Structure 1
């Protein structure tokens, strides 16, 4: 008898629990606990984001020049600081030295010849004067005319040859001077390669690369559409994945007028234009050239009504939010505009007085009762 009573009690308890769970589920499915906040007005910036590469605005690359001869010596090594005008490498050219020596001999020979012709002209004039005393000036002039004219012609030709030789001497001096190569910028030697390597390798790799870390830039590309909204002077914020908590201020320095050259197999619709960004305080950037950067270029700034991204839902092309009205979630269609990394502009659909549900749960439906945390 007692056993039957305990069985009956257990059955009743099970029925009560099942009914309670169903009641709880029904209530839970018809209500939800949510977080909500009001939209705020804030300054929002329209931006264009594009990747870029850190580079130096002032950089000099020196390759071997076979026309100058063979490299005699590289005078600097990687890491050396150089000033503009400092000698960095020298060439030697035996053919040039021989040509200079031949030119020097030619010039000396021409001076001797002109000096000899001057003396010859003087002797002929003296002879003409002596002859004039005997036969008269007119007949003496006729007698000596041919010889004097020939000497004067030879002298004129010798002077022309001398002028040409002196011009050649100036050119040779310049070529010899060019055998000593100087840096055209102030900076640090980034790369210094062995001058004795095979010539084919030297032509591929520079002998020297010199750059200045005092004037850093970031080089990137823009789409056709973005080039219409970006111009010199616009504000830029630069970040990098290497230092995610750091950011630097910069401004657009130049937007290329012509697109970057592309290969024949590249997509013709993906035309890219070069953009150059100049850092305002390059000394604060402790990165090396070649680092990958992210450029966020500000194209417009305006006051806007914004919400966190998590509040906005999508249904196809329709954007909507849930508004809390009289304890219920009311679905409201909205229109959006610009955005930042965390918030989005609401151009139509809500006001600053309404509470908007943030991170609405999946079960939330229109006109469902809600409790705001």
Structure 2
């Protein structure tokens, strides 16, 4: 019969053996891989192209000296409001320049060309008036159909945007007529001074339209040459946005594409519509010294004018061109996906283990990707999978 000492020694030995066995098991047992988890969720998804842009006045006019002469000091300041017909600069014509017979003939030719240009732009006004009237009727018709439930709200929005665009074109055409009349008056003035031998009253350079002074190249008096810019004016209430985007992104943007203008200084985002994607690109050197091919995209504001009237010419905005959007889209973090042949795959967490599964994806942004097949809402995936992960490996959250 064993004594108490022998029983104690046997128990201690068994405990030592158990501890050694557990240590060997824990040491050689495969440890769970610590990973970060993501989840497949349903949420709105928007695919955009984001670039920095700037505002500019739609119709701006650079008033130049119609003849060689001596300009008196300009009393206006940048930002001053001017009315159509206001005198901006008084110019004393140079006699020696206007008595030349060749310049007399050139002045007569410029008058004829200005008359022809005025007739052409007046026809543009008639066409723009017809387009604006049609757009207004279409908007009214769409609103009635929307009230009766026959069309979607998007059709009304498109009709409203078209009405706004037609109105802008009409205003621009009328400004063009005013400019053409101003050019005709300037040409007649030059011809009149040529016929008078440079004698008579000073040439008065007048504002062709109402607006604000945007730029004055030189305020001081002095000699000027024919065609030299004197004052630049425009209607600061009529703005558009110019954005230069990569040519690879420009091919995905079309006229009518929705734009969101953010971080412009006011509350919320402003909405706009792309009017023109220019057909010619240009080369621009990036901040990293890389040459890039870029394209100018011109967009109009679609938000009510009172929300963006605090903007002026040359103000900075962040433009987001909406290429695609959905309200209820199954999506996962894009960092959970990795290449699997010619497709995509992800490690899905099932009962604490990572299971490799092929995923069919749709639209993608820099952060998330749309899931078309392969995942269900609520399933967890491994974010940023590394080379430690294999199919069936036990995982744990960090």
Q: Report the secondary structure of 1:74's partner residue.
A: coil
User: What TM-score do the two structures reach when normalised by structure 2?
Assistant: 0.55
Mapping of residues 113-128 of structure 1, within 5 Å = none
Q: Structure 1 residues 359 and 91 mapped into 2: Cα distance closer, same or farther (>3 Å)?
A: same
Provide the C-alpha distance between the structure 2 equivalents of 1:59 and 1:276, rounded to a whole number of angstroms: 16
Residue in 1 that maps onto 2:355: 330
Provide the C-alpha distance between the structure 2 equivalents of 1:208 and 1:199, rounded to a whole number of angstroms: 13
Residue in 2 that maps onto 1:160: none
Residue in 1 that maps onto 2:275: 253
Shift of 1:238: 2.2
Q: Structure 1 residues 341 and 36 mapped into 2: Cα distance closer, same or farther (>3 Å)?
A: closer
Shift of 1:28: 7.6
Q: Report the secondary structure of 2:31's partner residue.
A: helix
Residue in 2 that maps onto 1:208: 231
Q: Structure 1 residues 182 and 28 mapped into 2: Cα distance closer, same or farther (>3 Å)?
A: farther
Q: Structure 1 residues 331 and 197 mapped into 2: Cα distance closer, same or farther (>3 Å)?
A: farther
Asked whether the equivalents of residues 37 and 358 of structure 1 are also in contact (C-alpha less than 8 Å), the reply is no
- Say yes or no: does 1:88 pair with 2:84: no
Residue in 2 that maps onto 1:194: 219
Residue in 1 that maps onto 2:56: 55
Asked whether the equivalents of residues 254 and 275 of structure 1 are also in contact (C-alpha less than 8 Å), the reply is yes
User: What TM-score do the two structures reach when normalised by structure 1?
Assistant: 0.58
Shift of 1:333: 2.8
Larger Rg: 1
Mapping of residues 223-262 of structure 1, within 5 Å = 226-240=249-263, 247-256=269-278, 258-260=279-281
Residue in 1 that maps onto 2:77: 77
Q: Report the secondary structure of 2:394's partner residue.
A: strand
Asked whether the equivalents of residues 73 and 221 of structure 2 are also in contact (C-alpha less than 8 Å), the reply is no
Residue in 2 that maps onto 1:145: none
2:40 pairs, out of 38, 41, 60, with 38
Q: Report the secondary structure of 2:209's partner residue.
A: coil
Mapping of residues 1-373 of structure 1, within 5 Å = 29-32=31-34, 34-40=36-42, 42-65=43-66, 67-93=67-93, 95=95, 172=192, 179-192=203-216, 193-196=218-221, 203=228, 206-222=229-245, 226-240=249-263, 247-256=269-278, 258-260=279-281, 272-281=294-303, 283-285=306-308, 286-302=310-326, 304-313=329-338, 319-340=344-365, 342-352=367-377, 354-358=379-383, 363-371=388-396
Q: Report the secondary structure of 1:220's partner residue.
A: strand
Single out whichever of 84-93 and 308-317 deviates more from structure 2: 308-317
Shift of 1:61: 2.2
Shift of 1:58: 2.6
Asked whether the equivalents of residues 260 and 272 of structure 2 are also in contact (C-alpha less than 8 Å), the reply is yes
Provide the C-alpha distance between the structure 2 equivalents of 1:220 and 1:270, rounded to a whole number of angstroms: 15
Q: Report the secondary structure of 1:29's partner residue.
A: coil
Deviations 1:328-354 (A, max 9, x none): 111223243322454221234323353
Asked whether the equivalents of residues 76 and 89 of structure 1 are also in contact (C-alpha less than 8 Å), the reply is no
Shift of 1:324: 1.4
Provide the C-alpha distance between the structure 1 equivalents of 2:202 and 2:364, rounded to a whole number of angstroms: 57
Give the count of matched residue pairs. Answer: 281
Residue in 2 that maps onto 1:133: none
Any gaps of 5 or more consecutive residues in structure 1? 1-12, 100-167, 264-268
Deviations 1:58-116 (A, max 9, x none): 32223444x252212424112212233322112112639x98xxxxxxxxxxxxxxxxx
Asked whether the equivalents of residues 39 and 305 of structure 1 are also in contact (C-alpha less than 8 Å), the reply is yes
Shift of 1:277: 0.7
Q: Report the secondary structure of 1:172's partner residue.
A: helix
Single out whichever of 230-239 and 358-367 deviates more from structure 2: 358-367
Provide the C-alpha distance between the structure 1 equivalents of 2:266 and 2:29, rounded to a whole number of angstroms: 45
Asked whether the equivalents of residues 43 and 304 of structure 1 are also in contact (C-alpha less than 8 Å), the reply is yes
Any gaps of 5 or more consecutive residues in structure 2? 1-15, 100-187, 285-290
Shift of 1:291: 4.1
Root-mean-square deviation (CA, aligned residues, Å) is 4.6
Q: Report the secondary structure of 1:233's partner residue.
A: coil
Shift of 1:32: 3.4
Asked whether the equivalents of residues 82 and 207 of structure 2 are also in contact (C-alpha less than 8 Å), the reply is yes
